[in-house]
Amino acid sequence: MSDQKKFSIARPSFNGNEKAYLLDTIESGWISSIGPYIERFEQEFARYHGVKHAVATHNGTIALHLALAAAGIGPGDEVIVPDFTFIATANSVRYCQAAPILTDIDPDDWNIFPEAISENISSRTRAIIPVHLYGNPARIREIMSIARKHDLIVVEDCAEALGAEYDQKKVGTFGDIGCFSFFGNKIITTGEGGMCITNRDDLAERMRILRDHGMNREKKYWYDFPGFNYRMTNMQAAVGLAQLEQIESLLSERDLILSHYQDAFSGNQMIVTQDHHNQRNVNWMFTIRLKGITEPGRDDLMNKLKEKQIDSRPAFYPIHRMSFYQTGGFIRSIPENSIRISSESLSLPTYIGLTREDIDYIATRVKEAIHVV
């Protein structure tokens, strides 16, 4: 019965070759960052995106750092990032001793948008990181034209948006580099894991070297500059390859969950979701905005859901609210939309296995709670 069921916010889905491939790595002894699954996963990931290179990393945060480091972002540089995103987007810029400029989002699609980006460009701006938040593509074509006009690097943060498309082209293939995460709650998972994709040979080569301590490609154990150990393990890649083999069904099952939620909430004026401009969004984590209910009311609602065994998650807090982003000139104007949408929004359980009955149950509990908050 739904009443007894516990609904977590996310769950991985392993219905393919995950166990067989993982066992293979253990039996072969190739468990660290050398082994056939790494190359196969990289090749298949590149093929899926129709790009030349894919460089696997140990997680999505360092994929972003690797991309920025390979692009030469460094001290004194500014990088435009959304104020409304997961903290790693902004932190990756700081790992390069550069300044993330926290930029407001569009109130309808919740992503950074061309006008706000243009306002924040200065003589120090070197790059933009558009995030396709909650699986919803940012207006990447227009963002790319601004970037080309100002000669800026674009690193797309696609951590939550594997499989999403803009004008029938996959996100991550517009910018200079696209970065992905394979954390346990992502579209595909490797436990922890990440990937950088690019069509640029120079950036791919630089990322491969930096990922491996900066080791010279011709001369083993000779280092030309201080790099990192950002490598993915063969065990992670084995799971990743098995997951990628199922990408179409994983996405379509998530689409079904999205349409059940949309049906369940349809007609309720108070509840809004991201506008996806008729683009191919992916249902990473179904997130609703409760118009007019602010943070305390939203948190109250989350507590009520918890009493009914339903986990939920507050939307990301605006990055500029974190103590270590409050000084240092990271915002140029108050990001009003980021503040409002963050405080009014929450994510609901989104994982394969949720039935229409489960979703109706969850949506009914949300609607009941709204009437009493």
Least distance (Å) between residue 292 CB and ligand PLP: 27
**Is 181 or 273 the residue whose CB approaches ligand PLP more closely?**
181
Least distance (Å) between residue 8 CB and ligand PLP: 16
Least distance (Å) between residue 118 CB and ligand PLP: 22
Least distance (Å) between residue 284 CB and ligand PLP: 8
Least distance (Å) between residue 57 CB and ligand PLP: 9
Closest residue to ligand PLP in the complex (CB)? 60
**Is 88 or 112 the residue whose CB approaches ligand PLP more closely?**
88
**Is 85 or 273 the residue whose CB approaches ligand PLP more closely?**
85
**Is 89 or 369 the residue whose CB approaches ligand PLP more closely?**
89
**Is 35 or 60 the residue whose CB approaches ligand PLP more closely?**
60
Q: What is the 3-state secondary structure (H, E, C) of the chain?
A: CHHHCCECCCCCCCCCCHHHHHHHHHHHCCCCCCCHHHHHHHHHHHHHHCCCEEEEECCHHHHHHHHHHHCCCCCCCEEEEECCCCHHHHHHHHHCCCEEEEECECCCCCCECHHHHHHCCCCCEEEECCECHHHCCCCHHHHHHHHHHCCCEEEEECCCCCCCEECCEECCCCCCEEEEECECCCCCCCECCEEEEECCHHHHHHHHHHHECCECCCCCCCECCCCCECCCCHHHHHHHHHHHCCHHHHHHHHHHHHHHHHHHHCCCCCEECCCCCCCECCCCCCEEEECCCCHHHHHHHHHHHHHCCECCEECCCCHHHCHHHCCCCCCCCCCHHHHHHHHHEEECCCCCCCCHHHHHHHHHHHHHHHHHC
**Is 236 or 365 the residue whose CB approaches ligand PLP more closely?**
236
**Is 73 or 264 the residue whose CB approaches ligand PLP more closely?**
73
Which residues here bind ligand PLP, judged by CB under 6 A?
Answer: 59-61, 85-86, 88-89, 131, 157, 159-160, 181, 183, 194
Least distance (Å) between residue 96 CB and ligand PLP: 15
Least distance (Å) between residue 371 CB and ligand PLP: 32
